[in-house]
Structure 1
């Protein structure tokens, strides 16, 4: 195993651990359930979860009798998903080239994925290809400019949030969901905002990641980064951490 491979495995495993912690929060469980409802997912319906990660949503859909397929380009993610839920259907593929037949899916779900896509229009064209007329699509994700974080240094916090956002392919994809769906030809588009409020240590790795990303981009110094992370850690220990994270949920229907 090369050092690059070791680093890739480490970063993927760290991401899985962070996503696992976030997914276990009651607010995240409720949000996933809401997306299933917007999909109209039920027994014998076929749904693809694009960017399925370690597969939790696919497993939950299968438990409801849904014929769920999980797709992710990360081989490590798919390996973990298959290990956790060996009876589920997980496949390695990108959002741009789904391993699915035309008009074969009743629903398309993608959670915290579209901000990673350089060409979201192409991904939605692929969604149109696989979803049946009258089928449903649900997109969920955060806008990377709208992390609301309490700090003694608001200017530094703004610099960290915006610098980290600039490292994302599509940091403001979530605010574009409605227009992207309309331009792709979907109809009956709705958008909801569900804001998670976090006051404990669970999100410390996320906050540290924001600061480290800003530091790597040269937007803040090492000293500023270490001081800001230390402040957030101290806040968490004293029950004074505050992070509000709006999650945008857009749903639409494929035209008949």
Structure 2
């Protein structure tokens, strides 16, 4: 579930991504995970907070509802346009994680949810986060490890191939394993890491699994027949309430010295 702009993404790609993000935003556990990230940021009234890679804007709006001066940042112009249409009173800006439109020390909070895995230089993004945060400001990074989709399927070897092939298409598929050290290396303090595992057993996440297999097929890792059979199996499992997908997400938070 990518959120930031990938190279070569078309408007149709963005619309498809928005549809997947809408599913992700509303699944059991998603609301609670967003709320936990806001708690870790310690949102105070009128605090300036950036949601980097904001997607269609929900988190920025929720933080504004908590009293923050929240700004949603995304490099995808189409994504920002959709966010603006959905939340016309909110502040959304086109920018990327390496060059944020804020002065040094301007922010009290920085949040990035399912973003760092698409960056080719996560350390550079962390350095930019440190630049825009004031001393005492808080950062919260949320992400998944793309090698740790846990999926029940009849063909375990094929499933491993699909998961790993999809991970190989991501610039930094295992960045969550590095997030703590990235923040320590950048001089952040009070670094904490939490794991939150979402478990799905019905058809709601079949589109996500179909996307995994479709990407693996496009990469040439599996055949058309393998992809179609695997997706059909997952659809049938979803129909019968027998699907099993476990998706661990990690929240790494810290304080700017």
Given the two structures, how large is their TM-score scaled by the length of structure 2? Answer: 0.95
Deviates more, 1:135-144 or 1:19-28: 19-28
Aligned to 1:26, what secondary structure does the other structure show? coil
1:124-139 map, 5 Å: 124-139=126-141
**Shift, 1:42, TM fit:** 2.6
1:160-171 map, 5 Å: 160-171=162-173
Q: Counterpart in 2 of 1:205?
A: 207
Q: Counterpart in 2 of 1:146?
A: 148
Unaligned stretches of 5+ residues in structure 2: 1-8
Aligned to 1:211, what secondary structure does the other structure show? helix
2:74 corresponds, among 65, 72, 75, to 72
Give the distance between the partners of 2:201 and 2:186, measured in 1 at CA. Answer: 38
| Cα displacement string for residues 87-119 of structure 1 (whole angstroms, at most 9, x for unaligned residues) | 111000000000111100000000000000000
Q: Counterpart in 2 of 1:48?
A: 50
Give the distance between the partners of 2:118 and 2:41, measured in 1 at CA. Answer: 22
Q: Counterpart in 2 of 1:4?
A: none
Runs of 4+ in 1 over 3 A off after TM superposition: none
Given the two structures, how large is their TM-score scaled by the length of structure 1? Answer: 0.96
Structure 1 vs Structure 2 CA RMSD = 0.9
2:26 corresponds, among 24, 27, 33, to 24
Q: Counterpart in 2 of 1:155?
A: 157
Aligned to 2:10, what secondary structure does the other structure show? helix
Give the distance between the partners of 1:8 and 1:201, measured in 2 at CA. Answer: 27
Q: Counterpart in 2 of 1:185?
A: 187
Unaligned stretches of 5+ residues in structure 1: 1-6
Give the distance between the partners of 1:183 and 1:220, measured in 2 at CA. Answer: 39
